[in-house]
A and B are shown apart, each in its own frame.
Chain A
Amino acid sequence: DAMVIQNPRYQVTQFGKPVTLSCSQTLNHNVMYWYQQKSSQAPKLLFHYYDKDFNNEADTPDNFQSRRPNTSFCFLDIRSPGLGDAAMYLCATSRDWGEGTGAKNEQFFGPGTRLTVL
């Protein structure tokens, strides 16, 4: 089945110790997204890639970086995790990006990585 896969599902790191989360997709979608979701809050978009074009949200801290080496994989790097970065990190994909209606903007999420910062 086509899907979005995230590894690891649970990640524990120490304050200030860099961590990398990974996402892969078999949907062959053009767009990949990283969201941060804290308890009882809506997902918050950090950035997205349209193919190889990187698009950062204005309020995403510099501490968060991303790489997309190919269509299938995308990584989230947190350079110096703080206690406030403990959250669920969700990867999502969509076939396309832009205006209009239709299925192109439907986003499909991976199971998430729950990050704990000690």
Chain B
Amino acid sequence: RKEVEQDPGPFNVPEGATVAFNCTYSNSASQSFFWYRQDCRKEPKLLMSVYSSGNEDGRFTAQLNRASQYISLLIRDSKLSDSATYLCVVNRVNTGKLIFGQGTTLQVKP
């Protein structure tokens, strides 16, 4: 089983839609959780750090469910500019090493 698993998609949604991505992680002792956004042929950019049970930043809401070992990212009112790959990232326990999921591709269409 992979340490971090995501549905690769693609998710094709119309502008204005709400879309949610889920990510599962294998080690229950993991402590740091992040969502990164990566545009085609660009570097990953930190979108949100997920603390406690979750947090919200504008149209983006991240939630953490430790009991079920999953993290979700909700995007409301999708914009064309939200089209990208979203990487779920978890630290490897007892280290600062980050383990990246394969990414979920989102395509927002007019």
Q: Which of A's residues lie within 8 Å of B, judged by CB?
A: 31, 41-43, 45, 48, 88, 90, 94, 96-112, 114
Contacts and interface: CB of A to CB of B under 8 A. Distances in A.
A48 B103 CA distance: 23
A107 B46 contact: yes
Contact of B44 (A43, A45, A94, A99): A43
A102 B33 CA distance: 9
Interface of B: 31-32, 34, 41-46, 49, 51, 87, 91, 93-98, 100-103
Contacts of A43: 44, 100
B2 to A, nearest CB: 10
Nearest to A94: B96
B20 to A, nearest CB: 21
Given A41-B102, A109-B44, A97 B31 contact: no
